[in-house]
Amino acid sequence: MAILTSPLFFKIAVFPGLTSLAIIAALVTWLDRKVTARVQLRIGPSYVSPVGGILQSFADLIKLAFKELIIPAKADKFFFVAAPVIGMILAGGLVGLIPFSPETQIANLEVGLPVFLAFLTLSPTMVLLAGWSANSKYPFIGGLRSLFQQTAYEIPLWLSAIGVVMMAGTFDLLKIVEAQSTGWFIIPQALGALIFLITITAEMERIPFDLPEAEPEVIMGWQAEYTGFLFLAAQGAGFIKLYVFSALFATIYLGGFLGPAPVPGLVWTLLKTTVIIVLIILLRGSFGRVRIDQLLRAGWTLLLGLAIANIAITYIIIQGIPSI
């Protein structure tokens, strides 16, 4: 019985774990639609009251949960069902590593950042399996494109995060936040933060990098054959990733839970995360779609070179000019 009231159980089940993750994912979905609508001079969800249609995504959740689950006849049933669900579990599990405040971190690993990025590299596998298992042309092509895109942008992601590690001297996410008490890392790491922002937008397949889901070309890509609950899992994984990556950005570049005293650290973290989420959503409304070959070329050449340049700049910043 004692386990139900232990703080670890509270952290996993309520906050920042499962329950709050589900609610926040729904709110992020609503935020995405609302901000995109405003950027496009529309109103966005407004019928499902009380204010600004905020319950719209909960209504969608209930609708999708009751829709019929159609599995194509020749699909590989195991992977068809398992791949998006495992993708969602992976994305949700990452929230356990983020220090929302010194007391509200589920798992404080000494190698927090590499473990975070390592589990990130598992998501292309899930997308490839999802695209292949539908046994249909467009999902497979979409899955391959998504695989190439996500693999191409993983390396600049790692390298730009290495700049933060160099400045903080540790992999531990909690200590990285505490090392920013003298100044947020976004200022010396401006180039790294920009690369990080671009690569996480590409990892989440958001516009402007959403070619694997482009309607005129591959009709929703690897998610094309999914209905009902599996569609919820596939889309939900995307929005959970948006939340988790923005939280990681806020943690390693914007100083996480550090902020002036009267406001608790937890609120600071959520505030900064929301700022980054809105920034990424604004990118959606502002840019056109990048073509797949431009995308891959940019990932492998331009961003890789800039990330290595960022490491060099960070070295110079740390060691001082005479060390060149």
Partner 1 sequence: MTDLAFLAFAFVTVIAAILAIEARDLVYGAVSLGVSFLGVAGLFILLDASYVAAFQISVYIGAVVVLILFTVMLVGPAKGDGPMEFKKASLFGAVLISLMLGMAGTLAATTSFPGREVCGSGCDLQLLSTTLLVDYGIQLELLALVLAAAVIGALTLAKAEKKE
Binding residues for partner 1, per CB under 8 A? 76, 79, 109-111, 114-115, 117-119, 121-122, 124-125, 128-129, 132, 140, 144, 147, 151, 154, 171
Residue closer to partner 1 by CB (options 115, 214) is 115
Coil/strand/helix, residue 187: coil
Least distance to partner 1, CB of residue 114, Å: 4
Distance, in Å, from the CA atom of 253 to the CA atom of 177, rounded to the nearest integer, reads: 8
Characterize 185-204 residue by residue with b for buried, 16 or more Cβ atoms within 10 angstroms of its Cβ, and e for exposed: bbebbebbbebbbbbbbbbb
Residue closer to partner 1 by CB (options 61, 106) is 106
Least distance to partner 1, CB of residue 143, Å: 9
Residue closer to partner 1 by CB (options 144, 250) is 144
Least distance to partner 1, CB of residue 123, Å: 9
Residue closer to partner 1 by CB (options 81, 128) is 128
Characterize 2-19 residue by residue with b for buried, 16 or more Cβ atoms within 10 angstroms of its Cβ, and e for exposed: eeeeeeeeebbeebbbee
Per the CB < 8 A criterion, the answer to whether 202 and 149 are in contact is yes
Least distance to partner 1, CB of residue 111, Å: 5
Could you tell me how far CA 48 lies from the centroid of its own chain?
Answer: 27
Characterize 223-235 residue by residue with b for buried, 16 or more Cβ atoms within 10 angstroms of its Cβ, and e for exposed: bbbbeebbbbbbb
Least distance to partner 1, CB of residue 110, Å: 6
Residue closer to partner 1 by CB (options 100, 132) is 132
